Amino acid sequence: MLKINFVGATFAEEKCSGLGVIIRDREGLVIASMAARVPQQLQPVEIEALAANKALEFAREMGILEAVLEGDSSLVMTTLNSKNPELAPFGLLLQDSLNLSAGFSKLSYSHIKREGNTIAHNLAQLAVNFPNCVIWMEDAPSDVLSSYPAGLAGIP
């Protein structure tokens, strides 16, 4: 069972958005991480929904079959848990996430406070510096990891 943390960010000045994803094992060791720039400025809940989708897509590309998806947007996580996204204005994005979730043998959703999602948040903040998507295998940028050791807790 792996933990997939994700978050989205918007950059008003640059008129773009970004997302960050980190996948860790039970001990908190990094399996992979990603920062991706989105070339348009989305609304906060839209970029969170897109980040959830990209996190699941990334995990499936990595061959992950069992995971906990953690995000700090209560609206996105509640909607995913309800498995009824069509009522949400960002429902199409989350319907894609639910479609991706069918490829997992075990997947659960967990809402966490923003303080518990600092590594994914800082990856999303880095995304503004990249032209598109950057992936780190078995790693994350050292300044992101070394600055937030509390965010490295494994799966309980």
What confidence tens digit (pLDDT) does each residue in 72-84 have? 999 999 989 988 8
- Asked if residue 35 is part of any domain, the answer here is yes
Q: Which residue's entry shows tokens 């960010």?
A: 9
Of the listed ranges 44-53, 61-70, 91-100, the least confidently predicted one is 91-100
Residue 149, pLDDT score: 52
Q: In the structure, what pLDDT confidence band is assigned to residue 147 with cuts at 50, 70 and 90?
A: low
- Asked if residue 11 is part of any domain, the answer here is yes
User: Which residue range forms the structural domain that includes residue 7?
Assistant: 2-142
Of the listed ranges 17-21, 88-92, 125-129, 135-139, the least confidently predicted one is 88-92
- Asked if residue 152 is part of any domain, the answer here is no
Question: Residue 26 belongs to a domain with what CATH number?
Answer: 3.30.420.10
Q: In the structure, what pLDDT confidence band is assigned to residue 86 with cuts at 50, 70 and 90?
A: confident
- Asked if residue 153 is part of any domain, the answer here is no
Q: What span, in angstroms and rounded, lies between the C-alpha atoms of 2 and 31?
A: 9
Tokens (6 digits) for 131: 């032209």
Length of the chain: 156
Residue 151, pLDDT score: 47
Contact call for residues 77 and 111 (beta carbons, < 8 A): yes
- Asked if residue 149 is part of any domain, the answer here is no
Which of 32, 20, 5 lies closest to 124 in space, CA to CA?
20
β-pairing verdict for 106-111 and 66-71:
parallel
Residue type, 21: V
- Structural domain tally of the chain? 1
Q: Return phi, psi of residue 107, to 5°.
A: -145, 130
Mean pLDDT of 12-33: 95
The rounded percent of the chain whose pLDDT value lies above 90 is 72
Contact call for residues 12 and 41 (beta carbons, < 8 A): yes
